[in-house]
Amino acid sequence: MKNFIYSCLCMLTVILTVAETPSPAPVAKIIPQVDVIHGDQRVDNYSWLRGKTNSEVVAYLKAENSYADQVMKPTRSLQNKLYKEMVSRIKETDESVPYRKGDWFYYRRNQKGKQYPIFCRKFQNLEAKEQVILDLNKLARGLKFLSVGTLSLSDDGHLLAYSLDTTGFRQYTLYVKDLRTGKLKAESIEKTGSVAWAADNKTFFYTVEDSAKRQYRLYRHRLGDLSSDILIFEEKDEMFDVGVSRSRSHDYLFMGSTSKTSAEFRYIKADAPNSDWKVLLPREKDHEYDIDHHGDKFYIRSNKAGRNFQLVSIPEVNPTGASWTVVIPHRPAVMLSGVDFFESFYVAVEREHGLPKLRVVEFATDRSRAIEFPESAYDVAPAENSEWKTTAYRYTYESLVSPRSTYDYQLTTGQSTLLKRQEVPGGYVPTDYVSERLEAKAADGTSVPISIVYKKGLKQNGASPLLLQGYGSYGISEDVNFSTSRLSLLDRGLVIAIAHIRGGGELGKPWHDSGRMMNKKTTFTDFITVAEHLIAKKYTQRDRLAIMGGSAGGLLMGAVTNLRPDLFKGVVAVVPFMDVINTMLDETLPLTVSEFEEWGNPKKKEEYDYMKTYCPYTNITAQDYPAILVKTSFNDSQVMYWEPAKYTAKLRATKTDRNELLFKINMDAGHGGASGRYDHLKESAFVYAWILKTIATN
């Protein structure tokens, strides 16, 4: 009898073990495609995965999703716990600080249980009756995805032009709503980008995209006239995109044609929408500029005198060929990121020592005052500043430990007034956490900044799990911000670090230049330097170190993993740009041509040869890799889904280890993932659970 019971128990154990053992990982079939360029033959075994409408492709992607879910099944309770924690730390019913525009105060609010914000306004004072101008929750009914592209109000506040994307492919349809009646006008214009109203409250200008999703045409539209939109301008050069805007003074409309390294702006008076657009400064190679208006002058932020930009003014009347008056000279150590103009003052938005700064200058006295900030690592940015005649400047401030706060800086007193601080339900105490600014020395002697945050009481003995993040492309700064979701990792003992590597914009345009084109590999070696520095300083060790990056930061993940797979325990690559060569050879894809000035053009042999040395997909080799989670979306138009799909398939077929490789794809979203706030938190919970099980378990 005992032997029978023992046999039954053994059989039950075998059954349970089989049931809980994950099925084998999906294996993508091999269909070699041979391409030759510059005499170099390349074989791509997974090019067939580009067939978005191919049922075999869809079946493979779904199989990857099923496999990922199966492997992650033991973490479901953890995922649920993380999700509930994240939700518990957001104020589900909340509203933004109202801002004034004309006769109305505008704000947006969220309601508990609803995925999307509700845009509202009140007439003249905040005690007035609320008017809902756009409820995205109603618009999203029956949809799996919804995103707003633009919101543009006519001067009289009666009409709202807005655009929606319902797939995640960044393809926006423009609508016009009469806010007096709540009814939509007959307008419905597809594939739109930027929008700007003329002063007559009847005319607006809009841009549209071509087949490669480049904004290339500007049209003039008059309300109610659906058949005779006037083509104002078509940009023939595929390196340039077109955008339209309105000056804060409301006096001018601007149209910019911009590439990654050059610009050309045209202008008309906003009260003369039928007039001819005039070129302010013709485009020149390597001359980037933008313009604004104040009084009887145009103000130009230009890099003609140096990479970090200067501010100059020219007369409003007959500006072409007029001599420039330098307002803010070029400074090698200070990046002039932007300038906000108002009737009596302007605000220079700058970056110095890797940190954003705000400097307020009065026109009447030329007095300049910097707004002071208390922490060594933080992020500050302009907020809603719609009014021309004002003595207050609104900005937001946050850090890795300080919740996002909205302030008004008063020109009259030189003081900032707190209007709202992000509420963190559950009793968040900022002093329970520590934020530091570190530096790592690259091989060439360059200091690479690092921002780091952890729970107070950290023992710097190398035993802590650490998540290192990075981006390093397009001159975009990887700024430090506050995240309530991140607390779920910090409270479980993780250290979180951000590598401010070259290729980004933290230290101005030279920092960007030193990590793009033929310098791109500096981005990757900087990141490796940061990782090694954190290990040397005993914040972590190799088997407790995970890294994460998205989009161009996903390329970073692929490149450093190929270079130093021994350095990391886990890798999270989100919507990653992995197939650099094949994508940059395909000029029909979105972004390709305009980004030749960021990555290079592989049709040029020297640039192809360099690109080939770091392209993640190309450089997968038969070696051991860390555990890897790849995430993407089926409708991504910025990094097509097939890049991470091909990368996963090739890596799984090539690597020599048995470490986990998961590929998770959202079949109903785009580059940013799920559009609803609760759905987005569920995606974060999945990623966090994977990170925790990979580096935080002993």
Q: What is the pLDDT of residues 54-92, one digit of tens each?
A: 999 999 999 999 999 999 999 999 999 999 999 999 999
Does residue 398 sit in the same domain as residue 524? no
Based on the domain organization, do 377 and 442 belong to the same domain?
no
Q: What is the pTM of this model?
A: 0.95
DSSP letter assigned to residue 126: T
479 shares a domain with 466: yes
Cβ neighbours of 92 (radius 10 Å):
14
Residue 567, phi then psi, degrees to nearest 5: -85, -15
Are 405 and 442 in a shared domain? no
CB atoms within 10 A of CB 84: 13
Catalytic residue among 337, 671, 675, 684: 671
Tell me if 167 is assigned to some domain. no
pLDDT of residue 16: 36
Q: Are residues 420 and 444 in the same domain?
A: no
What pLDDT does residue 19 have? Answer: 41
pLDDT of 11 over the 60 cut: no
Final residue of a structural domain among 424, 459, 484? 424
Asked which of 396, 424, 452 is the last residue of a domain, the reply is 424
CB 229 within 8 A of CB 221: yes
Confidence of residue 479 (pLDDT cuts 50, 70, 90): confident
Give the mean pLDDT of 651-664.
Answer: 98
Under 8 Å CB-to-CB from 405, ≥6 apart: which residues?
396, 397, 398, 418, 420, 421, 422
Looking at the chain, the whole-number percentage of residues with pLDDT higher than 90 is 94
Indicate which CATH number applies to the domain containing 606: 3.40.50.1820
The continuous run of DSSP H or E covering 339 comes out as strand 334-341
Instruction: Flag whether 363 is in a domain.
Output: yes
The answer to whether 685 and 481 are in contact (CB under 8 A) is no
Nearest Cα to Cα of residue 687 among 495, 486, 498? 486
462: left (phi over 0), alpha (psi -120 to 50) or beta: left
> Does residue 515 fall inside a structural domain?
yes
Nearest to 512 by CA among 524, 501, 527: 501
In a domain, 683, yes or no: yes
Q: Which of 636, 637, 675, 684 is catalytic?
A: 636
Question: Where residue 21 falls among pLDDT bands split at 50, 70, 90?
Answer: low
Looking at the domain assignment, is residue 25 inside a domain? Answer: no
684/487 Cα distance (integer angstroms): 12
What are the φ and ψ backbone dihedral angles of 535, each rounded to 5 degrees? -70, -45
In this predicted model, which residue has the larger pLDDT, 518 or 11?
Answer: 518
pLDDT tens digits for range 90-108? 999 999 999 999 999 999 9
Supply the pLDDT for residue 225. Answer: 85
pLDDT at 376: 87
Average pLDDT on 633-647 reads 98
pLDDT at 296 over 80: yes
Which of 572, 558, 595 is closest to 673 using CA atoms?
Answer: 572
Q: Is 38 a catalytic residue?
A: no
Residue 262 banded pLDDT, cuts 50, 70, 90:
very high
Is the same domain home to 458 and 569? Answer: yes
**294 classed as catalytic:** no
pLDDT digits (tens, 9 = 90+) for 183-198: 999 999 999 999 999 9
In terms of domains, do 452 and 392 share one? no
Based on the fold, state whether residues 363 and 469 are members of the same structural domain: no
Q: Quick check: is 606 in a domain?
A: yes
State what percent of residues in the chain have pLDDT above 70. Answer: 97
For 258, the token pair is: 């911009």
Is 107 within a domain?
no
Residue pLDDT, tens place only, 684-693: 999 999 999 9
The C-alpha R_g of the chain, in whole angstroms, comes to 27
* pLDDT surpasses 60 at 3: no
Catalytic residue among 313, 551, 594, 637: 551
The number of distinct structural domains making up the chain is 2
Q: What's the pLDDT band for 7 if we cut at 50, 70, 90?
A: very low
Contact 71, 26 (CB under 8 A): no
Question: What confidence score (pLDDT) does residue 17 get?
Answer: 39
Do 342 and 450 have their domain in common?
A: no
3-state secondary structure 47-99: HHHHCCCCHHHHHHHHHHHHHHHHHCHHHHHHHHHHHHHHHHCCCCCEECCCE
Helix ranges restricted to H, 130-230: 136-139
Of 363, 393, 424, the last residue of a domain is 424
Work out whether strand 545-550 and strand 495-499 pair parallel, antiparallel, or are unpaired: unpaired
Determine whether 671 is an active site residue. Answer: yes
Across residues 635-640, what is the average pLDDT?
97
Q: Is residue 216 part of a domain?
A: no
The rounded distance, in Å, linking the Cα atoms of 217 and 236 is 9
Give yes or no: residues 522 and 640 share one domain.
Answer: yes
* Residue position matching structure tokens 């161009």: 552
Structural domain boundaries enclosing 419: 333-424
| Chain centre distance of CA 504 | 13
Q: What confidence tens digit (pLDDT) does each residue in 389-431 have?
A: 999 999 999 999 999 999 999 999 999 999 999 999 998 999 9
Q: Is the pLDDT of residue 170 over 50?
A: yes
How sure is the predictor about 6, in pLDDT bands with cuts at 50, 70 and 90? very low
Structure confidence at residue 322 as a pLDDT band (50, 70, 90): confident
Q: What pLDDT shows up at residue 609?
A: 98
Q: Do residue 388 and residue 476 come from a single domain? A: no
The more confidently predicted of residues 20 and 73 is: 73
> Do 486 and 610 lie in a common domain?
yes
Q: Residue 4: pLDDT above 70?
A: no
Look at 680 and 426; give whichever has higher pLDDT: 680
